[in-house]
Amino acid sequence: MEDLPEIDRREVLSTFEMKAFTNDDKRSFCEAYADGIPFKECCELVGINRTTFLYHRKQDQVFASMLEACREIHCDDLESVMLATGRSPKGVADRLAYLKAYRPAFNSKDSSPSVNVNINISDEKLREYAQPNDGKRTEVVQIQEIPPMEG
C-alpha cells in the first residue's frame, strides 16, 4: 500500500481566506433577511459561512436584536396574509401552526374550557326522528349542567 503524502496543516490553513464579519456586513445581512431572503443566501451575500453567522448571532446582542426585529417583520407579514386569506377553507395548516407557535393560549388545554355533552334518546324518540317530516318540527331541549369528572 502506498504511503499518503504528509499534509502541512499550516499550508492548508493558509489557503482559507479569513473574512471579517463587519457591522456593515451585519447590516447588509439583516436588510436582506428583512426582505425575505433565507439565512443561507444572506450568508452567501455577505461572504460568510453559516458557522460564522451562528457565532455572531450568539455573541453579538445588537446583531441578535436586529435579527429578532426582522423575524417580527416576517411574522407581521405572515399574519397579514393569514388575516386576508383566513376565511379560505384551503391551506389551514399554516394558520394553525402560526396560532400554535405565537398564540399559545389557542392550543392550551388549560386555558380553553372543555364541554362534555351527553345525548340520551329513547327508542320511541329515535323512531320518531327516523320518520320523514315536513321540516317544521321543533324540539325543546332541557340542558342540564353536569359537573366535570375529577381525575
Domain CATH code at residue 32: 1.10.10
Give how far Cα 144 sits from Cα of 103, 105, 111, 149, Å: 33, 28, 23, 15
Phi then psi for 90, rounded to 5 degrees? -95, 150
Q: Is residue 43 part of a domain?
A: yes
Q: How many domains does the chain have?
A: 1
Least confident of 6-20, 103-117, 119-133: 103-117
Q: Is residue 117 part of a domain?
A: no
Predicted pLDDT of residue 118: 62
Predicted pLDDT of residue 8: 67
Q: Is the pLDDT assigned to residue 16 strictly greater than 60?
A: no
This prediction has a pTM of 0.50
Q: Is residue 48 part of a domain?
A: yes
Q: Is residue 58 part of a domain?
A: yes
Q: Is residue 61 part of a domain?
A: yes
Cα–Cα distance between 67 and 77 in angstroms, integer? Answer: 15
Structural domain span for residue 99: 18-107
Q: Is residue 8 part of a domain?
A: no
Q: Is residue 3 part of a domain?
A: no
Q: Are 57 and 63 in contact (CB under 8 A)?
A: yes
**pLDDT digit string (tens) for 26-84?**
999 999 999 989 989 999 999 999 999 999 999 999 999 999 998 888 888 877 877 77
**Confidence bin at 89 (pLDDT 50/70/90):** low
Q: Is residue 85 part of a domain?
A: yes
Q: Is the pLDDT assigned to residue 2 strictly greater than 70?
A: no
